[in-house]
Amino acid sequence: MKIAIAQLNYHIGNFESNQNKMISAISKAKNQGADLIVFAELAISGYPPRDFLEFDDFIDRCWKATEEVAKSCKDIAAIVGLPTKNPASTGKRLYNSAAFLNAGKIQDVLHKSLLPTYDIFDEYRYFEPNTDFHCVDYKGKRLAISVCEDIWNLGVEDLYRIKPMDKLIKENPDVMINIAASPFHYEQAERRKTIMKANVDKYHLPLFYANHVGAQTELLFDGGSLAFNAQSEMVGELNYFDEDLQVFDLENLPKEVKSETKPKKMALIHDALVMGIKNYFQKLGFKKAVLGLSGGIDSALTMVLASEALGAENVHAFLLPSQYSSDHSIKDAEDLAKNLGSPFETISIKSIYESIAKELKPHFKDLPFNIAEENIQARARGVLLMALSNKFGYILLNTSNKSESAVGYGTLYGDMNGGLSVLGDVYKVDVFELARYINRNEEIIPWNTINKPPSAELRPDQKDSDSLPDYDILDTILFQYIENRKGPREIISMGYEENLVNRVLKLVNINEYKRYQTPPILRVSTKAFGMGRRMPIVAKYLS
């Protein structure tokens, strides 16, 4: 038997596009002699469909699209992920299912047993767990078909009371097939390989694993679908960050194929962010982006990533200097736009700021200059950028990094504006590393932008270090708290000064209200702000 793995970029709710991609892949696999083609988890609907699953119309369209795909399954079978209705009168109304398509029809439907409900996953909100375990017989082979989490319950991932493969192995299957929606973070590919190998080590069967690729709002899927022989050797690894289709002969699987050199963290984050921007615009039907280019490293990096994703000509930069903007920052911004070949214009906010300050002067009661005046500048920039977004149909790119978002070092309705946050899951130390990665072959981002001390330039001689600890210290504390969920005593025991730790953690918690209002953040870490980190706003813990 020849088995094809189809790794496709689906679009949530775009049934016609999704089914046409599958039908095209079926034809391609059939031409390569495949007997079976495997698609990803919830491929028909796209992943994650979230509360679309509450609409009967959405579920009905998923079924109809699957029936259309089934019509192409003649002399070839397919495994397709979709949501299906639970016929029982009790329990959740849906299953997360894998349909087995053969002879032009839906021949069997199997359901997911282990429903992740942590971090970005919320499957028990919608789905009933499966309790009926059976394999599928096809062309003399018995297939143990499972859905994503059903084979992750091994070792350190042992979160559930049952292991679905322990049930299926009793039927003496010949092969394991897992359809998945495994989102990217920069450590996920290695974790994924470890889990797949652990399954083969335990059950001594070849394994075929089909993952999603492409971006779905903030969730990024890196692909990297896998094939293992029964000797626990990885014999196939599909492309990362791109669609792919590969065919494997089950009776003649090759010996172990070595992965290419393990991609470094910055290369992975770079490729993920470029894909995330590109797909966000494509799937929303937009082509052009706008951003405020300050001469600082965050806006510079955002502009380069957007230019790679959309084409430099489609990224329009606006320099918005105030009386506090330095000449070198303006020059750095201009040099970057010229290096990229992107259009840029300059609008001074000095007169706008002075006009607003004049109107507010009698109401400010002669109080000294402080954060209020600083934020007027940021909000004036935000007004201008949103006006340009509205007028020309651009998406405004937010340039805030994770360090700033964590401690509230940003202005609501100002520099925190945007339709998409590109760097909101990238700590400042990694922003610098990414910029150096961009410049690995030639100077694209002016080196002065990378090397100068970071500054918001909202008051004379301002530096980020005036308000925040050095980023190498700040980011380590933030990482321990946000990603590793360490408490203050644990972080202090690592050697960090008590008052500093308490101050940083307090800043994180009291600024939850700001993050609640930020745009979608492209997720590249194990714990991003957004749908995977749910914190109360009105709370007292560490605040």
Catalytic residues: 41, 112, 148
Per-residue DSSP letter, 157: G
Evaluate whether 120 touches 523 at the Cβ level (below 8 Å): yes
Give the H/E segment covering residue 111. Answer: strand 105-111
Cα–Cα distance for residue pair 466/461, rounded to 1 Å: 10
Asked if 470 contacts 432 with a C-beta cutoff of 8 angstroms, the reply is: no
The CA–CA distances, whole Å, from 31 to 6, 37, 101, 245 equal 14, 12, 18, 12
Cβ 248 vs Cβ 494: under 8 Å:
no
* Contact in structure between 165 and 176 (CB atoms under 8 Å): yes
d(CA 209, CA 146): 10
Given the structure tokens 């192409």, which residue do they identify?
72
> Three-state SS across 485-533?
CCCHHHHHHCCCCHHHHHHHHHHHHHCHHHHCCCCCECCCCCCCCECCE
Place of tokens 């510079």: 300
Which single residue is written with the structure tokens 């397919």? 78
230: which 2 tokens?
């029964």
Rounded distance between C-alpha atoms, residue 174 and residue 144, angstroms? 8
On the question of a cis peptide bond just before residue 48, with omega within 30 degrees of 0, the verdict is yes
Whole-angstrom distance between the N-terminal and C-terminal Cα of the chain? Answer: 61
Quote the CA–CA distance of 268 and 191 in Å, as a whole number. 14
Distance CA 358, CA 360 (A): 5
- The one-character DSSP state at 240 is B
Token pair 């590393």 is at which residue?
433
**Residues 245/39, Cβ–Cβ less than 8 Å:** no
The string of DSSP letters for 284-297 reads HT---EEEE--SSH
